């Protein structure tokens, strides 16, 4: 084990023997930034949630975009970017050995056109207002999702259908305001429930049907606040709870959240199909340490957002798997990616890529930006296989001897993921802000950009308090209204598909705008940070996403499973 001081935050971190073996295997020097700073700089390169309006620099059409109108970049709408009317090789540069290589990549990154949204565009149907999405259809304002249909206002999904206002939903249908669930049907206002049917305001329940406000139940039926009722009694009680009324739901939510705190939480969120793992939200993974939100990870470390299985032999990997392997220091790389380093937004089918940004279906690329379906390319210029294999090691040598120094005086030799080039988003507009929140001062001090620009709000035509208490009392005319959010006062609209879905589920129109609802859900979700504390039952040391001062009762995996399996 070797101890190092982080070049960015000054904190100490250690490099273990197994880390060292990985660095040797993929031929990179050990990092000089600590794991948390490395994660922040990778997540800073991706913006899934903060969208702005601007005009396409090719066809002039108005489009939603990850880049605000003030950002000095050439931005094309998805149709133009993915189309064949332009080609990244138009911007090809000859390598100049007299200048640092990354200075040249930076130059290239400032003149090539970017796509407004980060979707695998060619796999989508009728999804104009979504971001970080692939293989989906008929969705609206969803972010970071694959294989979804008719989903609204939701994030981090795989295989969700006819649902709204969810985070981390897998393979489920007709769910609303729920976080972390798999194979559910009709789950509302719940957290960490799997294989459930018709479950409300419940958490950590598995295989349950008709349960309300329940915690840690297994295979139960007709329970309210963990108390079992006959089918008839249950149905009578449900009517009294007024699940179709906005006021009734708010009241029940308060009671449920207070009840949840009285029952133990598992050390970390995951299940028994893991082997030798640490971190939170880990499923069907093995030999993977310090991970967050991963599915089907094997031999991974410091991996986050592997929302589509699988990822194998990856380190410092921020999304999103889908049969990827040998990835190091990348953000938003996936869908059969292999051997990709120090890169962002490279998908699908990207093989042997380094220091590249926005390359699709590319093989053997080095320092390429906004390049589609090319191989053996450096700075977007195509070479023969022999020329490429001769020039690339020479450039890596040059990067070590003549590293790029950015405007803030930071040195970027070969082996560091250069946030200065790949981070095209302000910190507060990037995924980093969602997971590792920093103040404006803190972000600026660490060399990140900040953006105070917001989309203009539409003038409201009605106050949310004047919305009908029940969906059965809500007329179609609500679609023409701009509703004033009860939290932030900004105007928001309800769209037709969403209203249909609420009617189908019997739920009232929410009084808060989609962004406020999203922020509340994120606030309830654990972050990619782990703490040492003690099991509330046996007192043994545990490693958990719940900080020691968090009021939750937290059990070690052994004690939790002994009681609740
Ligand atoms: Zn650090
Ligand atoms: Zn366009
Ligand atoms: Zn709001
Ligand atoms: Zn214990």
C-alpha angle with apex 247: 244 to 248, nearest 5 degrees?
Answer: 55
pLDDT at residue number 272: 85
Placement of tokens 């701009």 in the chain: 482
18-40: b (≥16 Cβ within 10 Å) or e: ebeebbeeeebeebbbbbbbbbb
pLDDT at residue number 454: 85
SS in 3 state form for 488-555? CCCEECCCHHHHHHHHHHCCCCCCCCHHHHHHHHHHHCCCCCCEEEECCCCCCEEEECCCCCCCCCEE
Q: Looking at the CA of 7, which ligand is closest?
A: 1
Q: What is the DSSP track for 140-162?
A: BS-EEEES-EEEES-EEEEEEEE
Q: What is the DSSP track for 36-92?
A: HHHHHHHHTT--SS--EEEE-TTT--EEEESS-TTS-S-EE-HHHHHSSS--GGGG-
pLDDT at residue number 456: 86
Spatial separation of the C-alpha atoms in residues 313 and 74, rounded to whole Å: 35
Decide: 10 and 26 in contact? Cβ < 8 Å. no
338-389 pLDDT, tens digit per residue, is 999 999 999 999 999 999 999 999 999 999 999 999 999 999 999 999 999 9
pLDDT at residue number 536: 98
Q: Looking at the CA of 57, which ligand is closest?
A: 2
301-320: b (≥16 Cβ within 10 Å) or e: bbbbbbbbbbbbbbbbbbbb
515 alpha carbon – ligand 2 mean position (Å): 27
Q: Looking at the CA of 62, which ligand is closest?
A: 2
284 alpha carbon – ligand 1 mean position (Å): 30
Decide: 154 and 165 in contact? Cβ < 8 Å. yes
Spatial separation of the C-alpha atoms in residues 398 and 369, rounded to whole Å: 20
Q: Which residues does 445 contact at the CB level (< 8 Å), separation at least 6?
A: none
Q: Looking at the CA of 54, which ligand is closest?
A: 2
Spatial separation of the C-alpha atoms in residues 169 and 182, rounded to whole Å: 6
42 alpha carbon – ligand 1 mean position (Å): 13
Residue stretches of the chain with pLDDT short of 50:
none
Q: Model pTM?
A: 0.96
518 alpha carbon – ligand 3 mean position (Å): 9
C-alpha angle with apex 192: 322 to 123, nearest 5 degrees?
Answer: 30
Q: Looking at the CA of 36, which ligand is closest?
A: 1
Spatial separation of the C-alpha atoms in residues 247 and 520, rounded to whole Å: 18
Q: Looking at the CA of 484, which ligand is closest?
A: 3
393 alpha carbon – ligand 2 mean position (Å): 38
Q: Is the dihedral of CA 530, 339, 116, 153 positive or negative?
A: negative
Burial of 257 (0-12, 13-18, 19+ CB in 10 A): middle
203 alpha carbon – ligand 1 mean position (Å): 34
Peptide bond into 158 cis (omega under 30): no
* 3 state DSSP class of 358: strand
């Amino acid at each position: 084990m070797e101890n190092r001081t982080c070049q960015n935050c000054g904190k100490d971190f250690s490099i273990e023997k197994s880390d060292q073996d990985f660095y040797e295997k993929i031929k990179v020097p050990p990092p000089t930034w600590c794991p948390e700073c490395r994660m922040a700089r990778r997540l800073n390169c991706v913006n899934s949630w903060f969208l702005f309006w601007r005009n396409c620099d090719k066809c002039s059409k108005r489009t939603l975009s990850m880049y605000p109108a003030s950002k000095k970049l050439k931005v094309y709408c998805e149709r133009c970017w993915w189309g064949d009317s332009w080609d990244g090789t138009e911007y090809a540069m000859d390598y100049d050995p007299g200048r640092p290589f990354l200075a040249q990549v930076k130059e290239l990154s400032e003149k090539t056109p970017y796509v407004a949204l980060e979707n695998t565009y060619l796999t989508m149907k009728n999804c104009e207002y979504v971001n970080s999405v692939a293989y989906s259809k008929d969705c609206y304002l969803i972010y970071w999702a694959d294989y979804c249909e008719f989903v609204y206002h939701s994030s981090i999904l795989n295989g969700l259908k006819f649902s709204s206002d969810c985070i981390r939903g897998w393979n489920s249908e007709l769910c609303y305001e729920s976080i972390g669930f798999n194979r559910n049907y009709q789950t509302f206002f719940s957290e960490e429930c799997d294989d459930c049917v018709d479950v409300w305001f419940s958490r950590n329940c598995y295989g349950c049907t008709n349960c309300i406000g329940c915690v840690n139940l297994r295979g139960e039926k007709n329970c309210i606040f963990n108390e079992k009722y006959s089918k008839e009694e249950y149905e009578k009680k449900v009517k009294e709870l007024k699940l179709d009324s906005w006021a009734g739901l708010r009241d029940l939510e308060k009671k449920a959240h207070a009840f949840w705190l009285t029952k133990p939480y598992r050390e970390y969120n995951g299940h028994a199909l893991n082997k030798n793992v640490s971190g939170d939200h880990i499923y069907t993974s093995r030999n993977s340490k310090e991970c967050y939100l991963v599915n089907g990870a094997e031999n991974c470390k410091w991996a986050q957002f592997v929302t589509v299985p699988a990822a194998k032999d990856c380190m410092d990997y921020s999304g999103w798997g889908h049969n990827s392997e040998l990835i190091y220091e990348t953000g938003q790389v996936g869908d059969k990616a292999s051997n990709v380093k120090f890169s962002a937004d490279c998908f699908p089918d990207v093989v042997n890529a380094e220091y590249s940004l926005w390359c699709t279906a590319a093989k053997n690329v080095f320092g390429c930006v906004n390049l589609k379906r090319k191989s053996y390319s450096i700075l977007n210029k195509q070479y023969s296989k022999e020329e490429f294999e001769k020039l690339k090691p020479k450039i890596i040598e040059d990067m070590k001897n003549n590293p790029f120094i950015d405007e803030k005086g930071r040195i970027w030799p070969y082996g560091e993921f250069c946030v200065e080039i790949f981070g095209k988003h302000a910190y507060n507009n990037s995924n980093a802000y969602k997971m590792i929140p920093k103040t404006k001062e803190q972000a600026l001090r660490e060399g990140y950009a900040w953006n105070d620009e917001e989309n203009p709000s539409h003038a409201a035509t009605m106050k949310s308090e004047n919305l009908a208490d029940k969906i059965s009392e809500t007329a179609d005319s609500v679609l023409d209204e701009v509703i004033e959010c009860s939290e932030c006062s900004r105007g928001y609209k309800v769209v037709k598909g969403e209203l249909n879905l609420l009617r189908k589920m019997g739920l009232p129109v929410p009084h808060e705008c989609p962004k406020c609802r999203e922020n509340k859900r994120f606030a309830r979700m654990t972050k990619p940070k782990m703490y040492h504390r003690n099991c509330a039952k046996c007192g043994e040391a545990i490693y958990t996403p719940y900080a020691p001062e968090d009021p939750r009762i937290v059990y070690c995996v052994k004690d939790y499973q002994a009681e609740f399996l």
